[in-house]
Amino acid sequence: MLKLSRSNFERLRELVYSNTGINLTFEKREMVQGRLFRRMKQLELFSIEEYCDYLFSPEGKALELHKMLDVITTNKTDFFRENEHLVLLSETLLNELFNSILGKYDCLNIWSAGCSSGEEAYSIAITLEEYFKKNDRRDYTIYASDISTTMIDKGKAAIYSMTDIYGVNESILKEYFLRSKDSEKAIVRLIPQIRNKVKFFKNNLVNDEVKKDIQMHLVFCRNVLIYFDRSTQEKVVDKLVSAIVPGGYFFHGHSESLVGMNMPLKRVSPTVYKKVYGK
């Protein structure tokens, strides 16, 4: 049977939720079905029932579960998405950070949480490089995490199609992207100077601990919270905010809200918050 039944969808939904905190609503059934068909084809399985039987078997849980989660949790992003955040960063927040709390630290630490295939992290790096053209250079590191190993590998490679960079300013393309020497390949790659500033790692925002050895000055978690129910959202935000030093900033997506959450945060714009005390 090639259609994902309600009962099998519920089994998968519970499995995804328990492992990632992602809340798959019934409206996502067709999306899940389409993505599972690709895995079924690779495994040479011919029905959803057969695939689910394998997935929930001891062998499937050991070998297939992480691959299924990779397929289900892969989400599209773009370079300079919700660019007003990066404009605010370059025009206001970086000056505030460098003139205040960064006197205590050797390096600006930034976390792109739920980074997908790296576009957000590299957009932040380019924003910083542009800022340093007009201001004193400071050291920085961008930590980019995602639950999907496939996305992490793509981010590390930093190779993108011409479609992926559609809409990026031409001057930015010329300075920070390398075109393939093979004219038949419509791909680009970030220059080493940008690639080397981003450290990718796998992280489950719901179940994994934060990097307690690294104090973050900026945390971006945009268009990720929408996949969680409210209690999971609060758990994730609390965890991310705990990683930020007082005086640092937290960014979330424009379709998300922190209203009603008891966090040590002061709003500086509709989707940007400053951490006001330790927690």
> Quick check: helix, strand or coil at residue 96?
helix
In a shared domain, residues 122 and 241: yes
Provide the pLDDT confidence category of residue 1 given band limits of 50, 70 and 90: low
In a shared domain, residues 46 and 94: no
CA distances from 98 to 31, 75, 125, 241, 278 (A): 44, 33, 16, 20, 19
Maximum Cα–Cα distance across the chain: 62
In a shared domain, residues 53 and 105: no
The model carries a pTM of 0.90
In a shared domain, residues 45 and 92: no
From the DSSP assignment, how many helices (H) and strands (E) are in the chain?
12, 10
CA distances from 178 to 107, 161, 199, 239 (A): 27, 12, 20, 37
Give the mean pLDDT of 52-66.
91
- Looking at 14, 41, 73, which one is the last position of a domain? 73
Predicted confidence at residue 257, as pLDDT, reads 92
**Structural domain boundaries, residue 11:** 6-73
Residues 221-264: tens digit of each pLDDT: 999 999 999 999 999 999 999 999 999 999 999 989 999 999 99
- Looking at 73, 100, 128, which one is the last position of a domain? 73
Give the mean pLDDT of 72-91.
91
Cβ contact 275:267 at 8 Å: no
In a shared domain, residues 91 and 59: no
Provide the pLDDT confidence category of residue 158 given band limits of 50, 70 and 90: very high
Could you write out the DSSP letters of every residue in 33-84?
HHHHHHHHHHHT---HHHHHHHHTSHHHHHHTHHHHHHHHH-----TTTTTH
* Terminal C-alpha separation, the chain: 51
Give the mean pLDDT of 107-125.
96
In a shared domain, residues 241 and 264: yes
Is 1 contained in some domain? Answer: no
In a shared domain, residues 39 and 138: no
Residue 211 has pLDDT above 90, yes or no: no
In a shared domain, residues 50 and 113: no
In a shared domain, residues 51 and 92: no
Predicted confidence at residue 200, as pLDDT, reads 97
Cα 50 to Cα 64: distance, rounded to the nearest angstrom: 13
1 Cβ contact list (under 8 Å, min separation 6)? 47, 48, 49
Residue 135 has pLDDT above 80, yes or no: yes
In a shared domain, residues 58 and 105: no
Structurally, the chain folds into a number of domains equal to: 2
Predicted confidence at residue 278, as pLDDT, reads 58
Cα 192 to Cα 17: distance, rounded to the nearest angstrom: 37
Give the mean pLDDT of 196-213.
90
In a shared domain, residues 65 and 117: no
H or E segment at 265? Answer: strand 265-269
- Looking at 15, 39, 73, which one is the last position of a domain? 73
Provide the pLDDT confidence category of residue 131 given band limits of 50, 70 and 90: very high
Percentages helix, strand, coil for the chain (3-state, rounded to 5) are 45, 20, 35
Q: For position 58, which CATH number holds?
A: 1.10.155.10
Is 91 contained in some domain? Answer: yes
Residue 279 has pLDDT above 60, yes or no: no
Is 60 contained in some domain? Answer: yes
Is 192 contained in some domain? Answer: yes
In a shared domain, residues 64 and 93: no
Among 59-63, 157-161, 190-194, 219-223, whose mean pLDDT is lowest?
59-63
Q: For position 251, which CATH number holds?
A: 3.40.50.150
Provide the pLDDT confidence category of residue 14 given band limits of 50, 70 and 90: very high
Is 79 contained in some domain? Answer: no
